[in-house]
Structure 1
């Protein structure tokens, strides 16, 4: 049987979102809207739908706007905040390190605050029998950023940073895009993730990204991180205006039924997937 789904989550939402300016001149990127729904609200609704009870959000840029938009409770979720005062000169691994107390409280979902995705992506993470899982999708010519290689047994075997369409090859290994949606077991967080964060930040590498942390743990420390393929699901990492346009196109389509979420007339009348 798959492990129980986590009841806690951490969302990293401290960054500038400079590539989305001018939309982020007055609001943080996680509050940019896709068809009327803020990116962060979509994540919180999906977390609530899969049984999460407590969420810790790491905030920085325009933190007051996020705290106002989400409050101390969002639906049935209890929301706590951790503030980064140096968000303008640190990477996502530093934000994750700031949330280490939350990471030490049990099994946990980990999300980046700029991914708009449908609920089933989280359900896929919980259906897998592995204890530590990352959502991935095939890397295509429209994508850029971190990618991973998969072993024959479905585990992530290596990371490739700063990939673009130029890195795709019919004869080379197949690349998969990391969706920045992960699930970790309590033991992994306390025995592997948090100690590695302490080492990285203690060494002064405050600009490191979460993907670099995971690459180090997978490639050098033997972390067994299973990959859950989400090929047929809708999702979009939103870094710039073109990403936002793509997300609005994808999520303007009528919803489709799934095993976890049967379709009904009221669902299909909505323009957005909540």
Structure 2
């Protein structure tokens, strides 16, 4: 049976890898954030991302570099990559939206849809399903949505103020932007040359119902690597997966 959304499935992606990762120091003193290794894997975050993108049908990736770009570029040159990779470095800071537009300008197919991901995300879910969701809604942009765990224990009370239960690290009641996107080809022209697209482009699309949100399926792995604690937790989760698997 022919997949009706196959023609709209992206085969190209932008990875935003220019952040300084100040909250991950000292790991980021000598390397950019995406080059930090997940303990127990021997592979940097960017390596996991590129492998995942290739598994989901991506053949070409543009990596937007910044802080210590040469370290990332050197690793890319020596690594056995599962897809074609191009790197770009902003000559001057363009902001998140401007940087995304600059990187998108180096994609091989300007007239086709594309994925984008933040360079500090470690996740596994079906991008093919997300692309189909995007196409079904005829969206200009689709954001993956995650429900992270709250890092503190929660307390439940009854209506009289009696504590009834303690819940360790419960899921957040709110969905958040998971840092993974599907964009239609026309989205690139809507990005600002400088500035933040989340304050300009996204609100405009939301007002015209052209912005969609794809909830990451329950049970799929997702974690943003922002701090040393995130690295530790990711390592524990990986070990638990290997034990149960």
- Report the TM-score, using the length of structure 1 for normalisation: 0.69
Structure-1 separation of matches of 2:182 and 2:243: 25
CA 1:243–1:124: 2 relative to 1, 3 Å: farther
Quick check: 2:65–2:90 contact (8 Å CA) kept in 1?
A: yes
Matches of 2:200 and 2:4, distance apart in 1:
26
Distance in 2 between residues matched to 1:223 and 1:126, nearest whole Å: 14
Rounded Cα–Cα distance in structure 2 between residues aligned with 1:182 and 1:111: 6
Q: Structure 2: how far apart are the matches of 1:55 and 1:49?
A: 13
How many residues are treated as equivalent by the alignment? 215
Write out aligned runs for 1:72-221 (5 A): 74-87=80-93, 91-102=95-106, 104-118=110-124, 120-128=125-133, 129-131=136-138, 132-142=141-151, 174-186=173-185, 188-189=186-187, 193-198=188-193, 201=194, 206=195, 208=196, 210-213=197-200, 215-221=202-208
TM-score where L is the length of structure 2: 0.76
Classify the secondary structure of the residue corresponding to 1:212. coil
Contiguous gaps of at least 5 residues in structure 2: 153-168
Q: CA deviation at 1:221?
A: 4.5
Structure 1, unmatched stretches of 5+, are 144-164, 169-173, 258-267, 269-274
Report the Cα offset of residue 214 of structure 1: 5.0
CA contact (8 A) 1:130 1:226 kept: no
Given the alignment of the two structures, is residue 224 of structure 1 paired with residue 229 of structure 2, yes or no?
A: no
1:237 aligned to 2:224? yes
Larger Cα-atom Rg: 2
The correspondence of residues 43-62 of structure 1 with structure 2, limited to 5 A, is 43-62=49-68
Provide the aligned C-alpha RMSD in A: 2.8
Deviation sequence 1:159-203 (CA, Å, 0-9, x none): xxxxxx9xx7xxxxx5202111111222x32xxx423324xx2xx
